Structure 1
Amino acid sequence: MASSSAGFVTGLTAAALATIGYLGHQAAATAPEDLGRPRASGSPAPGASKAPRDRRHPEALPGGSGQGERVVYSVDDDRVWLVGAGGEVRRTFRVTPSTVDPAPGTYAVTSRSNRITGSDGSPVEHVVRFTSTEGVVIGFSAAVDGSTARPDPGERTGGIRESRADGDAMWRFATIGQPVVVVP
């Protein structure tokens, strides 16, 4: 009796493993090519567009970007909106993205610095931080010299660069705890 039970269990185990193997093969055959492959978070997915979400109205506040007073940052549009409590856009402006993008989601301003040296070595002001990704702190800042050049793609930086005027507006608006909504 013991040998027939062992044979039965062995048969069930083999059938289960065969089923798991078949399902794994099916999943692999239908998964996107880049699934599971590491990709720099600062790079869009293959085929992903960095074109404005709304070509006719690139300054329009993205739908699904929350409610109430908040900062909205679109990774694909490289644009920020400062939104008042009633949902009115107080200011919108283009930014120069960092090499590491934050994931879409809702965050809050966690710290601020009036003047520091940025992760790229440039003096920056009005730094407003809201998250970190893979050990890189992400936030908005303005270069003291007013430059908004794209960062070296070989460097892992989290500074989303604004003009000095936009940095001033962000500094006044985004105090500690202010929601920051990141959308694609």
Structure 2
Amino acid sequence: MTSGSGNRDERMSGNGFIRAEAIVVRLVGILLGLALIAMVLVNVANAVGRYTGGFSLVGADELLVYGMIWIVMLGAILAARSRDHLSINLLPTAMSGVMAATVQIVVDLATVAVSLFIAWHSFDFISRIAALNQTSMGLGMPMVIPHSAVLVGFVGIAAVTAFLTIVDISRLAAFERGRK
């Protein structure tokens, strides 16, 4: 095997996947940051226009609220990926080894269950407002768009956490096989 094919094999391996995933996460984080900066600029422009009496951006407040909801929910997926979301690591940090890994798996399974529960109810609500063709007052935006952020966020949290749980279970199983 030549060194060129070895590099290709490495890119196709888990390390290549991990690097690609890290790049995607970094890009999403940058895009969320840029979206937040854009929202601040819209807010400043709207405030300047209002207080100088020159203009008012119709729907700016709605856009800011809906944009913030999307940023928070997409950021929650990234936080779940790094396990910085909705958890107090008091028990796992006080334990070590198999017990800490087991507690982490239980926490992850609970996170997946709760996230799927919320996602299901969000989907149900979105279905209802879609049937009504409800739109926002300022922008005339279909309300399905801002409400979908909750669905996307919790489905994303469930998917990321389920993947991390599978990885943790396989590591725990490998550890247990190594102990025997």
TM, length-normalised to structure 1: 0.23
Q: Indicate the structure (1 or 2) with the bigger Cα radius of gyration.
A: 1
Greater share of strand residues, 1 or 2? 1
Greater share of helix residues, 1 or 2? 2
